Amino acid sequence: MSDESLPAPRAGAPGPGARIGGGTLLQVGLAVLLAFLCLAPFALIVAISFGEKVQGAAWIWSVDPGNYARVFVGALWPEEFSGLYLQRLWYSVLYATLGAVLAVATAFPFTWFLTRTGRRAQTIWLVFLLSSVSVSEVFVVMGWDILLSNRSGLPMVARETGLTDWLKAVGWFDTLRGWGLANPRDLKFKTSATATVLTMTYLVWPYAVILLYPPLSRLDPALTEAARTMGARPATVIRTVVLPVLRLPLLGAVMFLFVYLLGVYVTVSVFAAPSQQTLAVSIYDAVRGATLDAPFGAAQSVVLLAVAALCLWFGQRLGGRGA
Amino acid sequence: MRRRLHPAAALFMGLCALVLALPILVVMAAALNGGRTMLFPPEDPTLARFAEFFAGDPVWRDALWNSGLIAVSSAVLATALAWPIAYLVWQGGSGLSKALAAAGAMPFALPPIVFGVGLGFLWAFTAGLGTLWAGILSHAALFLALPLVTISVGLQSIDRAHLDAAATMGATESVMLRTIVWPQTIPYTVSGLFFVMVLSFNEFIVMFFVSASAFTTVTLQIFNSLRNGFTPTMAVAAILFVSVSITAFALVARWGDLPRLMGAEPEHD
Amino acid sequence: MAGLALEGVGRDYGATRAVGRVDLAFREGELTALLGPSGCGKTTLLRIIAGLEPPSRGRILLGGRDITAMPAHLRRFGMVFQSFALFPHLNVRDNVAYSLAISGTGRAARHARADELLDLVRLGHLGDRSISALSGGQKQRVAIARALAQDPEVFLLDEPMSALDAKLREEMQVELRLLQQRLGITTIVVTHDQREAMSMADRIVVMSEGRAEQVGAPQEIYDRPDNAFVAGFIGRNNFFDAVAVPGGLEADGYRLALEPGPAFRPGSPVRAACRPERIRLGQDLPEGNRLPARVVFVRAIGSERDVHVETPLGPFVVAQGSGLQGGDGIAAGREVALHLPPGALQVYPAQSRPREVA
């Protein structure tokens, strides 16, 4: 939550490694436990991704790269190419990118104003934000599902208030139909890529505020004031000072949220059309759902993990260069 | 230097708050439905669903018990694990302690569905799949990063001069830990505990892979009935969840400096 | 006259009054120092002048034109901040050229102007450096050059030397003063350091608790403080309580003559002050205005020394300047006599409590 989470070592302090005994034992114990809980799951995924599915729901250890081939070119390759899982990966990346960018873009002005309110007001806002960040994805989806469902919710509100008729009158209704947001008679949000992306944005929006809060509240106010005394209008101050100074934290926030959104399952399974589902959904299907092919699910997980790791590594590199 | 917000800025913030609260408010209002279907606005408002949730249906009661047990246990476990790691790193730690901190933060930083799949495999091999203790350990690992961060922030806020002063008065490391470090980091430790508790209470996907349908929690139970259509009883659970979150974070705000914990500059005045 | 004038300017934060009602005229081309202890409202006043903070009352006039409602970016007063506030994402040259860049000046023209200003502050060779690669003194010069790039009508500096070490501070004070005189620009400097104010300013405004206590030339303020606060804040001073009597004061039974006589009704309680360097000590003292004293501590620094004494009126410090010979017998524990010259005594109303002698 804070960018100063892990402090720099204290110079000249006696390292615990210098003493043999309790400290070392504790560290070794912790290392074994964390290796088991935090690292072993990832290692197992990698190992199992090379396994082979056998009759029924079972699988055996193997060193078969076939699962990866299936992700990238399809099971029947080279006779036949199938981009089904590549397409799912594409939707994973697309939704996550749009959701993360949209969340940071709207959370930025909010956080900017938030850091300009009093300490007490900030505390109340933070309680509200933390409460909403912790609301389970299933509740969020439930709430938006009611709001976006065709029988009740917003499409009904639009019909009852005459908004739908007005949209038809001015011709924008057809535009919305073009975007998949309407059926011939009414507005329709389910299922659509728009609803998926917006729910994802909603899901990580409080996270975006929490990520942007430290750099924004630590920004020296003298920087913006100096720009003002040099003739910069408020919009110019944001464009020429605030955004360039904060470009690394902003990019970092987008990347963190992107990685988080890669793994979103409930939202996609409810709001995305069957042809526009993501890798997370097919991982679920492979491991616990209809297809029951654990090695293939593991291979897809590794691909997702690789995308996430690539993104984090890229962010690290940018951050390292900027510092 | 307190400035007043521009009215347009205040309006924008209010709008954000409204959109943020909207789906939850809708879910809450749906809890008042008299009938079996989830309608909004609610028809025939009644509080009967609350009684149903807390006292009636044993499925929901068991789910609630499991959720609570997992949340509290994994919070205690994660905090207990995070403390020595954060302390060792703060002490100027060895490479090993820094590697521990990195490993502990990793599950939270990667897509949760991948970690869930991995834990599913892990527990399948160790005969833990579908047991409550596996669920507790899984959530402790997933959320270890949170107390790790809050406790590190707390340790950093300790003035090193206090330690030097204590050392000149004859305090050993364990005495300093007990009399100076621990009291000053209690609010941060408790915050970390609450963060894990609340997030564990609400977590879905990892628990889904770990539970293997052998036990349910409230979020799992809700997901199971997602496709069969919502029932107003589920909305009662939502109200419960939101109240627990708000209470927990309000307590954190009361005991500690929440803006500081979230990374703002320490207050100067 | 195209100076800057404040008419009844004040600022409240809720119930707290940061600045009361200040009337001040800043003459064109002069360097004015706003001097006072921390929390006296001097920085708030500077921010009001810059347009960074709206006044709760009063008017600001620039060359007779009311600019009270004008926002900071239209006033374009160059300002140097305490933290320097240099933009970390721009190099030295682009920092200096910032005001020109956002007003649409072409690249070549603004770089030429920036280099000219960097030459002025003797940093002409550092245009391509990044801000993080500069020393404190260099940062300050860049901040000055940047504030001057827009040819401001008024030049504002908020505690400009506080981030510098003592030696560099004195050099920069001289350098800034020379630069200001060369450009003839109306300048306002906020500082809590009286030496800084005395060495740079044409005029000093001494502030306390949101008020301007005294306005005047540095020497004038030192020699003739208007009240006990100024007397205590500017330079060192010895204070004691007394009662006004015809032609002088009476304190604890000692009669002290005053020249000119006190402007207080006989019998009224007063607060009296005498500068350490005006007090005489030892043998060959003039008649009258004498106090017995016991030396408690002698602080000798080369040719100068401070003698700390205990008198019936309380502790006093006596400063003795150059030309002093050792071996005059002044040492801790010795009983001596003090002489307070009638012309050196300053008298103020009793209610105002100044800060203790520094």
Inter-chain contact A34–B104, Cβ cutoff 8 Å?
Answer: yes
Q: Do A26 and B174 touch, CB atoms closer than 8 A?
A: no
How far away is chain B from the Cα of A48, in angstroms, using its nearest Cα? 9
What pLDDT is attached to residue A21?
58
* Of residues B103, B212, B263, nearest to A213 (C-beta): B263
* pTM beyond 0.90, yes or no: no
Of A210, A13, A1, the residue nearest B87 (C-alpha) = A13
Give the rounded percent of residues in chain C with a pLDDT score beyond 90: 52
Distance CA A183, CA C239 (A): 89
Of A229, A240, A241, the CB nearest to C72: A229
> Which of C51, C75, C81 is facing A226, going by the closest CB pair?
C81
Q: Does B226 sit within 8 Å of A142, measured CB to CB?
A: yes
C203-227 pLDDT, tens digit per residue, is 999 999 999 999 999 999 998 898 8
For C312, the token pair is: 């019936």
Q: Hey, what CATH topology would domain C4-229 get?
A: Rossmann fold (3.40.50)
Instruction: Give the pLDDT confidence score for residue B214 in this predicted structure.
Output: 83
Determine phi and psi for C62, rounding to 5 degrees.
-120, 115
CA dihedral C161, C166, C167, C173 (to 10 degrees): 30
User: Per the domain annotation, does A181 fall within a domain?
Assistant: yes
pLDDT of residue B73: 96
For the sheet containing C4-13, what is the strand order?
Answer: C16-26, C4-13, C57-62, C65-66
- Whether A277 maps to a domain, the answer reads yes
Query: What is the model's pLDDT at position A6?
Result: 43
What domains appear along chain B, each with residue ranges and CATH number?
59-216+241-261 (1.10.3720.10)
For C249-284, what is each residue's pLDDT tens digit? 888 888 898 887 767 888 888 999 999 999 988 777
Partner residue facing B111 (CB), from A14, A288, A304: A304
* Nearest CA-CA distance, residue A226 and chain C, Å: 7
Q: Is residue A161 part of a domain?
A: yes
What pLDDT does A3 receive?
A: 42
What is the separation of C-alpha C242 from the centre of its chain, rounded to a whole number of angstroms?
29
Query: Which residue type, as a one-letter code, is found at position B6?
Result: H
Of the pLDDT bands very low, low, confident and very high (cuts 50, 70, 90), residue A132 is confident
Which residues, including other chains, have CB under 8 Å from residue B256's CB and lie 6 or more apart?
B187, B188, B190, B191
Nearest CA in chain C to A228: C73
**Domain annotation covers residue A306:** no
Q: Which residues pair with C301 in a beta bridge?
A: C304
More confident residue, C328 or C224: C224
Query: In this structure, what token pair is assigned to residue C95?
Result: 């920092």
Which residues of chain B does A213 touch, with a Cβ-Cβ cutoff of 8 Å? 262-264
- Measured between beta carbons, the chain C residues lying within 8 angstroms of A231 are 73-74, 76, 99, 102-103, 150
Question: Which residues touch A267 (CB under 8 Å, ≥6 apart)?
Answer: A137, A140, A141, A196, A199, A200, A203
d(CA C279, CA C67): 49
Residues of B in contact with A148 (CB under 8 A): none
- Residue A265, domain CATH: 1.10.3720.10
Mutual angle of helices A119-133 and A193-218, in 10-degree steps? 150
Give the rounded distance of the alpha carbon of C288 from its chain centre. Answer: 36
User: Over the stretch A249-262, which tens digit does the pLDDT of each residue have?
Assistant: 899 889 989 998 99
Query: Which two three-digit tokens encode residue C16?
Result: 């707290």
In a domain, A74, yes or no: no
Other beta carbons within 10 angstroms of residue C48's beta carbon come to 24
Residue A126 within any structural domain of the chain:
yes
A160 in any annotated domain: yes
pLDDT per 10-residue tile (average), chain B, 269 residues: 73 92 81 59 65 72 89 95 91 82 89 92 88 94 92 86 85 85 86 87 89 85 72 74 84 80 66
C-alpha distances (whole Å) from C67 to each of B6, B199, C20, C54 are: 21, 54, 19, 11
Q: What total number of domains does chain A contain?
A: 1
The residue of chain A nearest to residue B241, with distances taken between CA atoms, is: A135
| pLDDT in the model for residue A240 | 93
Fold of C230-280+289-349: OB fold (Dihydrolipoamide Acetyltransferase, E2P) (2.40.50)
The pLDDT value recorded for residue B215 is: 86
CA B219/CA B71 separation, integer angstroms: 12
CA angle A170, A176, A182 (to 5 degrees): 110
Torsion of CA C351, C354, C355, C358, to 10 degrees: -140
Cα distance between residue C242 and residue C271, in whole Å? 6
Q: Is A233 on the interface with C (CB under 8 A)?
A: yes
Contact present, B192 and B151 (Cβ < 8 Å): yes
**C208: helix, coil or strand?**
strand
Of all residues in chain B, the one with the smallest CA distance to A145 is B23
The backbone torsions φ and ψ at residue C57, rounded to the nearest 5 degrees and listed phi first, read -155, 165
Q: Among C79, C48, C72, C85, which residue's Cα sits nearest to residue C148? A: C79
Nearest chain C residue to A239 by CA distance is C102
Domain ranges within chain C, ordered by starting residue = 4-229, 230-280+289-349
Beta-carbon neighbour count of residue A162 at 10 Å? Answer: 10
Q: Do C89 and A223 touch (CB under 8 A)?
A: no
pLDDT interval class at C328 (50, 70, 90): confident
Greater pLDDT, A289 or B8: B8
Q: How far is A227 from chain B (nearest CA, A)?
A: 18
User: Which domain, by its residues, includes A195?
Assistant: 99-289
Give yes or no for residue A15 having a pLDDT over 50: no
Distance, in Å, from the CA atom of C110 to the CA atom of B154, rounded to the nearest integer, reads 48
- Per residue in A30-72, pLDDT tens? 999 999 999 999 999 998 888 888 777 677 787 788 888 888 8
Determine the Cα angle at A211 with ends B140 and B14, to 5°.
115
For residue A41, whether the previous peptide bond is cis, meaning omega lies within 30 degrees of 0, is no
Q: Give the pLDDT confidence of C139-162 residue by residue, as tens digits.
A: 999 999 999 999 999 999 999 888
What percent of chain C has pLDDT above 70?
A: 95
- Return the residue in A230, A236, A243 with the most chain C beta carbons within 10 A, the one to mutate for interface testing: A230
Which residue did the predictor score with more confidence, A150 or B219? B219
pLDDT, position A100: 95
Judge whether residue A192 has pLDDT over 90: no
Q: The complex's ipTM?
A: 0.83
| Distance from the Cα of residue C321 to its chain's centroid | 24
Is C72 in Cβ contact with A222 (below 8 Å)? no
Mark yes or no for CB contact B117/A45 under 8 Å: yes
Q: Considering only CA atoms, which of A2, A9, A42, A50 is closest in space to residue A299?
A: A50
